[in-house]
Structure 1
């Protein structure tokens, strides 16, 4: 064996011919090129120098209520989007229930991933609310953001409450006080729920500034349905649109179908198809309340007024059902339409 030699010349040539891929450079997110609109976010980034060896990018994002760099401990985890081939990416289907969203991106070649970019936080605030079950008429069955008419709701609820009160061995005023969780104040503190023929429920969040938007899908077979806004002074017996404390559009399927705009017991028939979903837009400072076909963004009616106190999203249904969609930003089509119409006089002045 002492006279044997191993020839590594071919292997040496192969090793010398190997070209190792360097770690990709760190991208930089261009905040000025990022867009947040219509419940989507487009994130754009650049590289200091072109790199033809980059195979794809990885984008990570997470919701937050904190403006600025990520904190060490956040309530929401990073969500990962892989396989991005371009220098930008549009995220859709996001939950817009936090004020901000933080983004970071890194480049990858076929061998290794580079460092993450400096995190960037974009404002993703949208109008989010829940239904205030404490304000709801007893004939309305509330489940999350869905409402269904229940003709026997009041009687059944009273019977269940009485049965639970008398039969439960756990019940006592002192024990109930200890076990009951703290509840946020309702939109109508100190007032009873709606009653008689009001069939109304309010949201739990008031609007006192800015531009807000939400949508509601309703059963077109409902005997009656209304959506709009109301003041806190709306009486518990009041129907939406029949006092100066509420504005709404009202669908009537009783005897003859009609769609009307109502305020202060005045009504105007709307000459437009009845959509399956309605978008509601409020510009508090401008005193504008507009209703749109949520699918086509066609304007159905606008109230022009002056809000002197906060308003609350309000809903009414009789013999039917509806569901609310919140966490929505004002659609760009609605914003552009409002700008076009801002210089024109309102044709609905008689209802303001």
Structure 2
């Protein structure tokens, strides 16, 4: 037996209940408590994945041209001031229980991949988030990526990422990028970009968040979880999560299902 509820509100807990099977002869045991609720998609930025030149604070990022240099200076000082107790030879003899613990995660982005990922993956459902960015940034990108995105890979330049890319270096351009292919977008640069993802349908759409106008849609077949991804060079941005998919975006997706841009249109 299947039950269907309509008109449920976003990010709301409705009830907790238990169920059991029964017939005329006998009744079974009650199930564990079940909570009926609608979930919101919340994430923060994973500072451990960020390029050293990106200063990350929860949901905001600021470019720091000296970030990597400062960390290298600190490392050099630590090596110089290191006591015999913490020398490489001494550490190698320490008991595993006393050894330093490390965070299990991906490698930090490096070289010219000024990238940071979210700390939460998407593997189901429809999700929506927005990003406000400095339009004077030399470069900025927002999109999604597979966990396998290489630490040297720039967003949109491999098959593991999809993005909208703003370039202010030498000549201004706004493009949709995937697998090292790009399509120039004929639209004004917005103050905020809204990102809509329908995982099961393989739809990734970008909107002018203020006007709710569609900028571009990728159509893909997601076979593994994807992660919100961001890039900035000489600029700043901030992200807003936990948002309900706007009704105008929902209706627009239905209208544009047969006319939206696709990966195949990228040249």
TM bracket, shorter-chain basis: 0.7 to 0.9
Q: Deviations over 1:285-327 (max 9, x none)?
A: 1010000111121111000111121111110000101111111
Specify the structure having the higher radius of gyration (Cα): 1
> Any conservation in 1 of the 2:136–2:168 contact (CA below 8 Å)?
yes
**What is the distance in 2 between the residues matched to 1:288 and 1:156?**
41
Q: Deviations over 1:114-157 (max 9, x none)?
A: xxxxxxx8734111111111111111111111111111110101
Unaligned runs of 5+ in 1: 1-31, 42-63, 70-120
**What is the distance in 2 between the residues matched to 1:181 and 1:295?**
45
Q: Which residue number in structure 2 is paired with residue 301 of structure 1? A: 216
State the structure with bigger RCO (CA 8 A, min sep 6), 1 or 2.
2
Q: Which residue number in structure 2 is paired with residue 148 of structure 1? A: 62
Runs of 4+ in 1 over 6 A off after TM superposition: 177-182
**What is the distance in 2 between the residues matched to 1:179 and 1:285?**
43
Task: Give the count of matched residue pairs.
Answer: 238
1:36 aligns to what SS in structure 2?
A: coil
**Judging changes above 3 Å, is the alpha-carbon distance between structure 1 residues 281 and 222 closer, same or farther for their aligned structure 2 residues?**
same
Q: Which residue number in structure 1 is paired with residue 111 of structure 2? A: 196
**What is the distance in 2 between the residues matched to 1:130 and 1:269?**
30
**Judging changes above 3 Å, is the alpha-carbon distance between structure 1 residues 255 and 287 closer, same or farther for their aligned structure 2 residues?**
same
1:164 offset after TM fit, Å? 5.0
RMSD: 2.9
> Any conservation in 2 of the 1:125–1:329 contact (CA below 8 Å)?
no
Structure 1 position 319 matched with structure 2 position 267: no
**What is the distance in 2 between the residues matched to 1:161 and 1:224?**
29
**What is the distance in 2 between the residues matched to 1:181 and 1:335?**
45
Q: Which residue number in structure 1 is paired with residue 205 of structure 2? A: 290
Give the alignment partner of residue 248 of structure 2, picking from 316, 319, 333: 333
1:346 offset after TM fit, Å? 3.5
1:338 aligns to what SS in structure 2?
A: helix
**What is the distance in 2 between the residues matched to 1:131 and 1:156?**
21
Give the alignment partner of residue 131 of structure 2, picking from 216, 223, 229: 216
Q: Which residue number in structure 1 is paired with residue 261 of structure 2? A: 347
Unaligned runs of 5+ in 2: 18-34
Q: Which residue number in structure 1 is paired with residue 24 of structure 2? A: none
**What is the distance in 1 between the residues matched to 2:40 and 2:99?**
34
**What is the distance in 2 between the residues matched to 1:123 and 1:332?**
20
Q: Which residue number in structure 1 is paired with residue 23 of structure 2? A: none
> Any conservation in 2 of the 1:264–1:351 contact (CA below 8 Å)?
no
**What is the distance in 2 between the residues matched to 1:140 and 1:127?**
24
> Any conservation in 1 of the 2:216–2:260 contact (CA below 8 Å)?
no
2:151 aligns to what SS in structure 1?
A: coil
Structure 1 position 271 matched with structure 2 position 219: no
Q: Which residue number in structure 1 is paired with residue 72 of structure 2? A: 158
